[in-house]
Amino acid sequence: MNILVLIKPVPDPEQEKNIRIDTESGRIVREGVKHVIDPESRNALEAALQLAKQPGREPGFVAALAMAPVQMKDKLTEALAMGADEAYLLSDKAFGGADTYATSYTLAAAVRKIEAEKELQFDLILAGTSSSDGGTSHVAVQTAEWLQRTHISNVCSIQLPDSTAGSSLIRVIKRSEEVMLTFEGEGPAVIGVTRDINKPRLVTAMGIIKARKKPLTIWTIEDLGINPDKAGLAGSPTKPGRLFEPETGRAAEEPWQTPEEAAAGILEIIREAGI
Amino acid sequence: MDYHFTEEQGLLRDAFAQFAKEEIAPHAAAWDAEDHVPMDIVPKLGEMGIMGVFVPEEYGGAGLGHIERCIALEEIARYSAGLAMMVFTHHLGVAAIVDYGTEEQKQKWLPGMCDGSCVCGLAVTEPGGGSDVAGLKTVAVLEDDTWTINGRKCFITNSHCAGVTVVTCRTGEDEKGRPLMSTIAIEAGTEGFKPGREENKLGLRGSYTGELIMDNVKVPAGNTVGAPGKGMPITMKELGEVGRASMAAIELGILRACLEDAVAFAKERVLYGKPISKLQAIQFQIAEIRCDYEASRLMLYNAAAMKDEGTVGAEFSMAKYFISEAAVRSAKRLMEIMGGYGFVNEYPAGRYLRDAAGCIPSCGTSEIQKMIVAGETLKKF
Amino acid sequence: MKAEDINKILILDQGDPVAGQLLAKAYAVFGAETEYVVLKAHKTHNIALRMMEQTVREENPELVLIGATALGEEIAPALGVRFRTGVAAHCVDIKVNDEGRLTFLIPAFGGRVIGEIFVPDAKAGHPAIATVKPGIFQQRISLYDGFDRTDIGSAPSVRIIDVDALAADGSIPEGSKTQGAFRLAEITPRQRAASDIASAELILCGGYGLGNEETWHKLEALADKLNGAAACTRAALDAGWGCMEDTMIGTSGRAVSPEIYVGFGISGAAHHTCGIAGAGRIISINTDKDAEAFAASDYKGVFDAEQVIDALLDQIK
């Protein structure tokens, strides 16, 4: 089973409270904010490594793919150190400002190029369902649409249930609000995973050494052969406006002196509301 | 000259830091309180590549250098200096085998030492003295290709868990009557070789520190690590370059813990209607800790880089002396910042102080370090 | 796209209240001159996506609104690519700005930041598409039982397209038992919380500041005694105290608008305030006097959550 994983470098979600907007330019201040591989991308990579390298099966290979500024190259190295076999970074000024439509278009072009070069089709493309910065849940679905492949998101389990040699049957469990849906089929497909699908492995010292010998390829817009008006801000049907920190407009009165007074006050408010 | 970590070293540090946060931080206080040695974490350290971080890949190690080794120790010690003591002592013995062992010895012992199935130890100190290495009394006599070893070692880390211990023994005299030593590896379970009393320490708890008893222990001549008679230079080199570096890295980890905890506490603790981080007196304390940390960091990683290049001299002695004293004063500053909270065992300030003080006598006291530094300085300047 | 260019709005009804919320909002913003079409499609992905695509082609709306449920989150972006148009995800508001442009407001960085999004080239044939989580818009027009909110003004004219793929007994039609190349093999109901937070008038929400599992269980017991619902934040859920995922509130969780909301030990990262912006009255209890939650609260108490919970349990005896 050969798998491609979409990786997204994002500002460290644990440092969310340090995100600031520059009031003059109205843009997010990214300098000095540490970037990491988005948590759900890590889950996707872990799932890919487990599926492609399952004992008792012919080992497949895992490729990591990201569209990001070139300073994020170390996130691809990290993916290699985790165990991916190859990594691809799409980096070009022309990709800047892309919304999910342009991003997925660009990623799909890269997938086609990798598949053409390797003369194969990936059985699965895995990604996080939703990223911690944008949180749209679009990219996995839209990449699948550009590639005209099946997509399933919110997947909390992926298994290869058939242990007969050469079988590529995949069983996937998708979580929706009221039910768990179990799907079965063979690739190719694009699957968006959730945080609870697995616990991603840590990078080890041996992984870092092995990563040195693995290929990390950087492609520009020219390498992909995409028209500049299909990429980046130019290729984005959504355009951003102003950014602001949300106003909440509530009074924040502080009427109580002790926990007991607070409890009494809360009960009073509840009674008044007639609950 | 580049004072920044490479991309790879940065990745490694983040990986080790994450491991320490998940596997060590939640348990460190309990390990200290109960003096519990967490042997179950050793295979995980093996998997991470920490146990054999500087061992060549062909023997199962990660094939990295001493900067990476110090990074690992700093990250572990930031949460548990006690566990870091186990790891550094293991590295001491492993280094002796890597630097001086025969091919046969390396093939036999290194793979297990790298994957965490065999913890290593190095035994030098005796009841008769630690600083006075030349005066040690453990004796090994060679006859028919077999060493017979008699003696006692004390204050030995990993005494009760090492699978292989490299023991410094007196094995003869040179033509001037001065003692000659050899470093001989003894496997746990060898008849006559056993750990004795276990010390109940003030700090660096959660690691075994105890006696080793050698009572007519017989081991093959093939267990000699390095050439016979060369035990003194081998011991001094490993203690000097790997031992002192480790202590410096561990003290650096403790220092960083003091820094991070001081900042966190100062921002949270509210007095006079605002966090104490707004008060100049507290700010000055924090600035002092910070400067101590940054200077220490540079000294340690500079020395480690020199070792990886093969040019290190007294730099580790300088680093160990400076950082251990800085860690002790930073721990005391933390206790002052925390006031009463610094004195209750629910908070770690006391543990940091105990641990920092405990590192000073290991691998050469501050006085020994100063002697070494003075000697080198007087020659060089 | 200017609001005045919007003649027809298509809304997807997946069988839960969000379609009524979307209709109420759309009507409040665009008024009676706009035509409203609702596609009532089965909850299974494959049918709903195909039917939406077909309906968009037939109806040519300028704007498509879809609830951001697990299903909606897959349909909306797919339609975005099929119709070569932009999709605004998880909107917290839809409005017309000073220049008369259709403006979507979406959260980023867990809700810490709100951004404006426009779809400038949207038009019939390439509609702007937006998803909104259930509960973000509190006003609701009940689609099938008559209109129950008179403050909307005169009732909008709504045309409902009922996909005849729906079987009368609610079972899944044969044609929808696939999702692309995958076959639906099994459906199992999920373990859900005892009371649904979406309809609760009183919600007690626990955050990481509860400190431990015991305090979480006390909060659950308290909610039960007060006839309210217990909810949690992402941090509390991840702590493994046994919170149920469908009671998690936040940008990656659910949005609620109870009459009274009491938050215990929640630091108030903005994603949480995005999830409860519609609540009647918000009370926050946290030991950190600088907790962001306080800025978004009507009443605040700088106390230990457990102490207040204990006091409440004590006082209601």
Report the domain count for chain A: 1
Cβ of A101 within 8 Å of Cβ of C87? The answer is yes
When CB atoms are compared, the residue of B7, B8, B49 closest to A204 is B49
A256, part of any domain: no
Residues B348 and B257 sit within 8 Å (Cβ to Cβ): yes
CATH number of the domain enclosing A73: 3.40.50.620
What is the pLDDT averaged over residues B258-279? 90
Question: Is C274 in CB contact (< 8 Å) with chain A?
Answer: yes
Contact at CB, A206 and B49, closer than 8 angstroms: yes
pLDDT tens digits, residue range A94-129? Answer: 999 999 999 999 999 999 999 999 999 999 999 999
The lowest-confidence range among A70-84, B321-335, C197-211 is C197-211
All partners of chain C with 3 or more CB pairs under 8 angstroms: A
The residues, ordered by sequence, that sit 6+ positions from B189 with a Cβ below 8 Å of its Cβ are none
Report the pLDDT value the prediction gives residue C152, as an integer from 0 to 100: 43
Q: Does any domain span residue A110? A: yes
CB-closest option in C118, C182, C312 to A152: C182
What percentage of chain B reaches a pLDDT higher than 90?
86
Predicted confidence at residue C153, as pLDDT, reads 43
Beta bridge partners of C162: C40
**Domains identified in chain C and CATH numbers:** 3-183 (3.40.50.620), 202-315 (3.40.50.1220)
What are the tokens at B125? 């100190």
Q: Which residues pair with B216 in a beta bridge?
A: none
Nearest CA to CA, how far is A90 from chain C (Å)?
21
Closest chain A residue by Cα to residue B7: A74
Of B24-28, B287-291, B320-324, C161-165, the range with the lowest mean pLDDT is C161-165
**Local structure of C24: helix, strand or coil:** helix
> Would the CATH topology of B122-232 be identical to that of B233-380?
no
CB contact under 8 A, C69 and A258: no
Q: Decide if B106 contacts B120 (C-beta within 8 A).
A: no
pLDDT of residue C267: 79
- Indicate whether A235 pLDDT > 90: yes
The count of residues in chain A is 275
A112 φ/ψ angles, rounded to the nearest 5 degrees: -60, -40
**Residues near B142 by beta carbon (within 8 Å), at least 6 away in sequence:** B171, B221, B228
Q: For C273-300, what is each residue's pLDDT tens digit?
A: 678 877 888 899 988 877 777 777 889 8
Does A152 reside within a domain?
A: yes
Residues of chain C contacting A245 with CB distance shorter than 8 Å: 112-114, 270
Q: Rounded mean pLDDT of A196-221?
A: 95
Whether A202 contacts chain B with CB within 8 A: yes
Joined together, the tokens standing for residue A168 give 């590529």
For residue B313, give both structure tokens: 């001299």
- In the prediction, which pLDDT does A243 show? 84
Q: Which of A151, A163, A145 is nearest to A126 (CA)?
A: A151
Closest Cα to residue C127, out of C77, C92, C90, C83? C83
Q: Domain residues of chain B, as ranges? A: 7-118, 122-232, 233-380
Q: Does B48 touch chain A (CB under 8 A)?
A: yes
Task: Decide if pLDDT at C145 tops 70.
Answer: no
Contact B62 A203 (CB under 8 A): no
List, for residues C43-92, the tens digit of each pLDDT value.
666 778 888 998 999 999 999 999 998 889 999 999 999 999 999 999 98
ipTM for the whole complex: 0.90
* Inter-CA distances, C121 with A238, A240, C7, C246, Å: 9, 13, 15, 37
pLDDT at A24: 67
- Tokens 């659950």 belong to C220
CB contact (8 A) between residue C180 and residue A134: no
A275 located within any domain: no
Distance CA C285, CA C237 (A): 19
- The pLDDT value recorded for residue C147 is 44
Give the residue from B1, B82, B74 showing the smallest Cα distance to B297. B74
Residue B381 exposed, middle or buried by CB count within 10 Å (0-12, 13-18, 19+): exposed
A275 touches B at CB < 8 Å: no
Predicted local confidence at residue C142, as pLDDT: 66
- Give tens-digit pLDDT for B187-214: 999 999 999 999 999 999 999 999 999 9
What's the pLDDT at B277? Answer: 92
CATH of domain B233-380: 1.20.140.10
Nearest-by-Cβ selection for C86 from A149, A152, A237: A237
Q: What SS3 class is residue B16?
A: helix
C63 φ, ψ (degrees, to nearest 5): -135, 135
Residue A201 lies in a domain: yes
Strand C63-67 relative to strand C87-88: parallel, antiparallel, unpaired? unpaired
| Domain of A194, in residue numbers | 3-230
Decide if pLDDT at B40 tops 90: yes
Q: Taking a contact as any Cβ pair under 8 Å apart, which residues of chain A between 202 and 231 contact chain C?
A: none
Contact A105, A147 (CB under 8 A): no
pLDDT, residue A53, reads 92
pLDDT tens track for C149-205 = 433 445 567 888 877 544 555 555 555 566 778 888 888 888 777 678 888 889 999
Q: Supply the DSSP string of C57-104, one letter for each residue.
A: HHH--SEEEEE-STTHHHHHHHHHHHTT--EE-S-SEEEE-TTSBEEE
Nearest one of B272, B258, B274, B273 to B337, comparing CA atoms: B258
Tell me the pLDDT tens digit for each residue of C120-140: 999 999 999 999 988 888 776
Matching CATH number, B7-118, of 1.10.287.130, 1.10.340.30, 1.20.1290.10, 1.10.540.10:
1.10.540.10
- pLDDT of residue C146 exceeding 60, the answer is no
Task: Judge whether B116 is closer than 8 Å to chain A, CB to CB.
Answer: no
Residue A239 lies in a domain: no
Which residue out of A12, A17, A34, A202 would a mutagenesis test of the B interface target, given it has the greatest number of B Cβ atoms within 10 Å? Answer: A202
pLDDT band at A250 (very low <50, low <70, confident <90, very high): confident
If one compares B148 and A17, the residue with the highest pLDDT of the two is B148
- Is the CB of residue A78 less than 8 Å away from at least one CB of chain B? yes
User: Do residue B62 and residue A205 have CB atoms under 8 angstroms apart?
Assistant: yes
For residue A254, give the chain C residue with the closest CA.
C300
Contact between B12 and A205 using a beta-carbon 8 Å cutoff: yes
Chains that touch B (3 or more CB pairs under 8 A): A
B122-232: CATH architecture: Beta Barrel (2.40)
- CB pair distance less than 8 Å for A209 and B57: yes
